[in-house]
Copies of this chain bind each other. A is one copy, B any other.
Amino acid sequence: MSETRSTPTIGVFDSGFGGLTVLAALMRRMPHARYSFIGDTARLPYGSKSRRTVARYAAESAQFLVREQGAEFLVIACNTASALALDAIQDAVPVPVLGVIEPGAAAAHAASQSGDVLVIATDATVHSHAYKAACAAKNLRAYEKACPLLVPLVEEGWINHHVTDAVVRIYLGELTSDAAAAGMSADTLVLGCTHYPLLRPLIERAAPRGITVIDSAESTADAAAALIETVVPSASRGMSEPTEIHCFATDSVEKFERLGSRFLGRTTGKVQLVDLGG
């Protein structure tokens, strides 16, 4: 598994296809790699499920990527799985595993002057307080808010829609007033869900002036590239191999193919159905 090759195989996992925003960011940095992406669409959304359930589901997908697809590195492109199950995934497979929380917190640390950070995410990510803990480890204070309507709005395709604008303004209004009431002067907002980058223009318009928006997909791709570069230097520089993408889903292949290109910024190609027995 740790044999050095010119073309690394990078496994990317999400509960759905939102993590394709992370895959897109990885491909921009490391075009000369083979990517296997699995979306556990039969069991999504993870955002409303318990730690125990998310850990079991995520470990099964991680094992598929390593055992069946030969992944040498795993990127958990799902905030909920990173927040609730990173340890469980690391225990389940013998390869390096990177989640999105730590890189997101690192980017917030680099961006924030005040040391106070806002985080928007799913219910499960917020209740895990994973961002709060990752930020606290860097002496940042984080105020987290669950925004459960944003994923369905993105999946409905209402990316630039007045209803989505109204919902974003309600959520951000509540978040900033609650954070201010708690004595915080936040200058940074972390998008703690891989669906949210699609709403970035709308979120930037609705956010208070002077707030820096952090996309954890981008920060995660930076961290992954740095890690993989130490093992396979050709992944970012080599000229030999074009990008190779293999996409798998546990259900809803048509929906994945139809909506996935919106997240990936190019076609996903043929998505293969996989049965994880769940």
Contacts and interface: CB of A to CB of B under 8 A. Distances in A.
A42 to B, nearest CB: 5
Query: Assembly of this chain: how many copies?
Result: 2
Contacts of A183: none
A91 interface: no
A48 B166 contact: no
A245 interface: no
Interface in A139-188: 148-149, 152-153, 155-156, 162-163, 166-167, 170
A166 B166 CA distance: 10
A278 interface: yes
A251 to B, nearest CB: 5
A261 interface: no
A67 interface: no
Task: Give the contact-size bracket for chain A.
Answer: 20 to 34
Nearest to A153: B149
A212 interface: no
A43 B152 CA distance: 16
Given A148-B156, A278-B278, A252 B170 contact: no
A87 B230 CA distance: 55
Interface in A16-66: 41-44, 48-50, 53
Contacts of A153: 149
A74 B144 CA distance: 42
A255 interface: yes
24 contacts: A41-B49, A42-B49, A42-B50, A42-B53, A43-B43, A43-B278, A48-B252, A48-B255, A50-B251, A53-B251, A148-B155, A148-B156, A149-B149, A149-B152, A149-B153, A149-B156, A152-B152, A162-B166, A163-B163, A163-B166, A163-B167, A163-B170, A166-B166, A278-B278
Interface of A: 41-44, 48-50, 53, 148-149, 152-153, 155-156, 162-163, 166-167, 170, 251-252, 255, 278
